[in-house]
A and B are shown apart, each in its own frame.
Chain A
Amino acid sequence: AQSVTQPDIHITVSEGASLELRCNYSYGATPYLFWYVQSPGQGLQLLLKYFSGDTLVQGIKGFEAEFKRSQSSFNLRKPSVHWSDAAEYFCAVGRNTGNQFYFGTGTSLTVIP
């Protein structure tokens, strides 16, 4: 069965430090993968997506993610975190039909000064 796992429920980093949020997926075919961010009281905004090709994907707000097929992972990274990055982050894998998605349980990011 298709699924997405985000092993870290909550992460705290200092402003200016680097960030890596983990995402593992289970999918039978070549997956198409997404990272979304949810700021407090807001809907979900797409950060980046991967379908094929270059395994390092650049997104908005300085984020990037690397697809590693051998590890079934699609980790999100940012070299230097800003206080405004505090939010909930969701990894998702596209389903076969209807542009539907399986979402992970989310990782809540706290940024301390």
Chain B
Amino acid sequence: EAQVTQNPRYLITVTGKKLTVTCSQNMNHEYMSWYRQDPGLGLRQIYYSMNVEVTDKGDVPEGYKVSRKEKRNFPLILESPSPNQTSLYFCASSPRGRHTEAFFGQGTRLTVV
């Protein structure tokens, strides 16, 4: 089954403790992105990647890191999480081309206390 898989689905952590949210897609898509969803703000892009070893900042990159060492994986790293990073996070992938839609993972709900 074609899918984007995020782990974990739920995570509670403490301020300053480094964490990684994994994202993997099995559709051989070139493009991958991370979004955060907050009430009243919709989805905002954190980082995106157009291919292996090619990443760039989105609209709200502060406090986040990403890497794209393999085509299928795009982990999101929070080196020193803070409470304002409490949010619902989505990973998405899409194939190359102008008119293709994004395929989303099921989300990771992160709480930083």
Interface residue ranges, A against B (CB under 8 Å): 6, 9, 32, 34, 36, 41-46, 49, 51, 90, 94, 97-101, 103-106
Closest to B6 in A: A43
- A101 in contact with B98 given A43-B90, A90-B43, A106-B42 (CB within 8 Å): no
Give chain A's interface secondary structure class.
loop
Shortest CB distance B48–A (Å): 5
Q: Which residues of B contact A43 (CB under 8 A)?
A: 4, 90, 104-107
Please give the residue numbers on chain B whose beta carbons come within 8 Å of chain A beta carbons, in ascending order.
4, 31, 33, 35, 40-45, 48, 50, 56, 58, 90, 92, 94-102, 104-107
Task: List 9 tightest A-B contacts by C-beta distance, closest first.
Answer: A43-B104, A105-B42, A103-B43, A99-B94, A44-B104, A103-B42, A43-B106, A99-B31, A51-B99
With contacts A43-B106, A44-B90, A49-B101 known, is A100 near B48, CB below 8 A?
A: yes
- Rounded to whole angstroms, the CA-CA distance of A21 and B32 in the bound complex is 28
Q: List 7 A-B contacts (CB under 8 A).
A: A43-B106, A98-B33, A99-B94, A99-B96, A99-B97, A100-B33, A100-B45
List, in ascending order, chain A residues with CB within 8 A of B105's CB: 43
Query: Which residues of chain B come closer than 8 Å to A98, judged between CB atoms?
Result: 31, 33, 48, 50, 56
Contacts of A51 in B (CB 8 A): 98-99
CB contacts (< 8 Å) of A42 on chain B: these are 106-107
Docked CA distance A6–B42 (Å) = 10
Most buried by B among A41, A94, A98, A101: A98
